[in-house]
Amino acid sequence: DVKVTQSSRYLVKRTGEKVFLECVQDMDHENMFWYRQDPGLGLRLIYFSYDVKMKEKGDIPEGYSVSREKKERFSLILESASTNQTSMYLCASSPLRARGHNYGYTFGSGTRLTVV
């Protein structure tokens, strides 16, 4: 069964800490994405990546960075966590549009991050 795995389901971090959220996919997908999900706001794209070492800003990149050193792994980094970054973080992957029969995304189960 194909999978997107996020390293933690729940995290509690202190304000000012550097936080790493890890995501690994086993489908050899080129594209990977990080979203945050907040009540009433839906899903908002933070960053995405088309390929190894490639990254592009999404709609709300401020306060975040990403790393993609290997095709299967896409990391989200909160350089200095703040309370307004308390949220559910969802990772997703998809094949290149030309290659995939299903043009949708495969999502991980999410990481609920609380910054105190």
Partner 1 sequence: GNSVTQMEGPVTLSEEAFLTINCTYTATGYPSLFWYVQYPGEGLQLLLKATKADDKGSNKGFEATYRKETTSFHLEKGSVQVSDSAVYFCALRPLGTASKLTFGTGTRLQVTL
Q: Which residues contact partner 1 by CB under 8 A?
A: 4, 31, 33, 40-43, 45, 48, 50, 56, 58, 90, 92, 94, 96-97, 102-110
Nearer to partner 1 among residue 3 and residue 18 (C-beta)? 3
Q: Kindly state the tokens that stand for 108.
A: 């991980």
What ranges in the chain are assigned the alpha helix state H?
A: none
Distance CA 22, CA 74 (A): 6
Q: From the CB of 28, what's the least distance to partner 1, in Å?
A: 15
Q: From the CB of 21, what's the least distance to partner 1, in Å?
A: 13
Distance of CA 67 to the CA centre of its chain: 10
CB 95 within 8 A of CB 71: no
Nearer to partner 1 among residue 43 and residue 77 (C-beta)? 43
Nearer to partner 1 among residue 85 and residue 93 (C-beta)? 93
* Closest by Cα among 40, 59, 38, 42 to 114: 38
Strand partners of residue 88: 37, 112
Q: From the CB of 4, what's the least distance to partner 1, in Å?
A: 8
Q: From the CB of 92, what's the least distance to partner 1, in Å?
A: 8
Nearer to partner 1 among residue 32 and residue 78 (C-beta)? 32
